Amino acid sequence: MSISARRIWAALFMVLVIISGLLMPTTTSAHAQEATPAPQEIRAIKGAQLRWSINDQLQKRPPVGGVNYLTAGISDGKKGTYSSSEGNVAIKIINGDSVTSPTWNTKNNFLRMGNAQQVVEFSGGHGAINPDGSATIEWEGSMSFNFLGGLSVFSITNPRLVVNSGGTGELRGDLSGYGSDRVKLTKRPLQPRQDMQIATFKDVHIDGTGSVVISPEFAGREIDVDPGQKPQIRSGAGWGAWPQEFVDFQFETGLSSFWYTSGGSTDAAKAPHPITIDFDAKTDQNSTPTPTPSPEPPAASSTEPTEGPAWLRILGGTLVVLSSVISALSLVGMLLLDAYPNLRKHLPPIGLN
């Protein structure tokens, strides 16, 4: 192949490279930004309140021992550790529209007030609701159950509400207390148990506003009962139990059959009452931690093109392509004339000859 032919083919190859490069689609920064999904919002929870009257068993006078009563904080069943308020926890007596805070001397007045009930309130709950509907809310503090006048005592500390994306969930917390001997009227401290299941539920959806009422499960739940304990009765309307982990701990406190149907006269009083979570308009919807801002990029140079209307950008790009194609074809023409001078006499007078 002659030198002139090689130059012509080289010029044609350059034309193809230029045209293909100009016509090849490129990904702009705007497209890259559109491909990056925006982060989903996590709703932070602050100041949530949990209210619970536990069950009818707690609200009734026991056959012996005077009264079953609640205490804020950790109790040993004696006057010295009694309190109706401690930190984020408060015990209230609610009778219709009347709300009072009991004392050691008035803690059993609710028994003489018709439909009055003892209620525990945990305030200051904090946590988060995730975009898929799952949520976790935690409270700090302790409440104590003093059954049989304080002979059988246990406590729940730092309750935590967990809701899954499908609406199922649980209430968990730390358990501590005493093992009691009702014959010798003595009690001994028990080894605390961390993060135990206290209640389970389903069909619960929260959005962090207003209040939501949660109905813990009981009916139809089967549990394993330790040998020597009253067996679970699984017949009759409403038979059931509290969660296995919770009942297992009660085998040690001596209150096991208080939490499942055992054939006694109080079986109908053992099912848990609803739990109310009140957000009280204290939800901060955008209180997620603010990330540390990144350094701002340097200002764009004045030589950089600015974006305009779409039709103007398309027209400009088309003109650039045509200009480059014409330049490449002119280069080929010049090479052809250089290789074959005789072609000049066949060209019209347009400046190339």
How is 6-18 classified by DSSP, letter by letter?
A: HHHHHHHHHHHHH
Residue 80: the pLDDT is 97
Contact 197, 170 (CB under 8 A): yes
pLDDT in tens, the chain (353 residues): 554 555 554 444 454 444 555 444 444 444 434 443 444 789 999 999 999 999 999 999 988 778 999 999 999 999 999 999 999 999 999 999 999 999 999 999 999 988 899 999 999 999 999 999 999 999 999 999 999 999 999 999 999 999 999 999 999 999 999 998 766 677 899 999 999 999 999 999 999 999 999 999 999 999 999 888 999 999 999 999 999 999 999 999 999 999 999 999 999 999 999 999 999 744 333 333 333 343 444 444 444 444 455 555 565 555 555 555 555 555 555 555 565 556 555 555 544 43
Nearest to 287 by CA among 127, 136, 141, 161: 127
Give the single-character DSSP code of 147. E
The vertex-184 CA angle with 118 and 231, nearest 5°, equals 65
Helices and strands (H, E) in the chain, number of each type: 5, 14
CA distance 231 to 155: 25
Residue type, 119: V
Burial of 331 (0-12, 13-18, 19+ CB in 10 A): middle
Residue 148: the pLDDT is 92
* Overall pTM surpassing 0.75 (yes/no): no
Residue 287: the pLDDT is 35
